[in-house]
Amino acid sequence: MKCSTHLEDSEQVDSLRDCASRQVLDRIGDAWSVLIVTQLRAGPLRFTELARKMDGVTPKMLTQTLRGLERDGLVTRTVHAVVPPRVDYELTPLGRSLEGVVDAITAWADSHIGDVLAARGSYDSKASTAKNRS
């Protein structure tokens, strides 16, 4: 899964597909990207507004994640030359195109998280009884 930048071998298309998925997951798979995209769907927000809406995020991570999203063309960063400084973050069209993916994840999560939690509990209880047996 080397993720070369260019492949002419058509047999490796499957690997390339996986590779693209991997890159996307590297972007949205982290803790905050999806949350930020979700928050920005309603419209642009400034730094502190985002921070307040996402309880638990540190300024460092917020900055870091926003820079990543900006670098990948998913959000724009607009600095207003006023005092006090004001910086707005907004979804780009590309970022907005991610909404379908976010919705798919959210929808699956909402409808199946119960099953996952149940399976997890069952698995853990079996594991603990097995351990007590030893």
Partner DNA sequence: CCGCATCCGATGGGATACTG
Partner DNA sequence: CAGTATCCCATCGGATGCGG
Q: Which alpha helices (H) appear in the chain, and where do they start and end? A: 13-28, 33-40, 47-53, 59-71, 93-96, 99-133
Nearer to DNA, 41 or 46 (CB): 46
Q: Name the binder of 100 from its own copies, DNA, none, CB < 5-8 A by kind.
A: its own copies
SS3 track for 35-48: HHHHHHCCCCEEHH
In the range 22-51, which residues lie near its own copies by CB under 8 A?
Answer: 22-25, 27-31, 34-35, 38
Q: Under DSSP, is residue 78 helix (H, G, I), strand (E, B) or coil?
A: strand
In this chain, which of 49, 119, 125, 128 binds its own copies, going by CB under 8 A? 119
Q: Of 33, 49, 54, which Cα lies nearest the Cα of 99? A: 33
Q: What is the closest distance, in whole angstroms, from the C-beta atom of residue 10 to DNA in the complex?
A: 27
Residues at the interface with DNA (CB under 7 A): 30-31, 46-49, 56-61, 63-64, 66-67, 77, 84-87
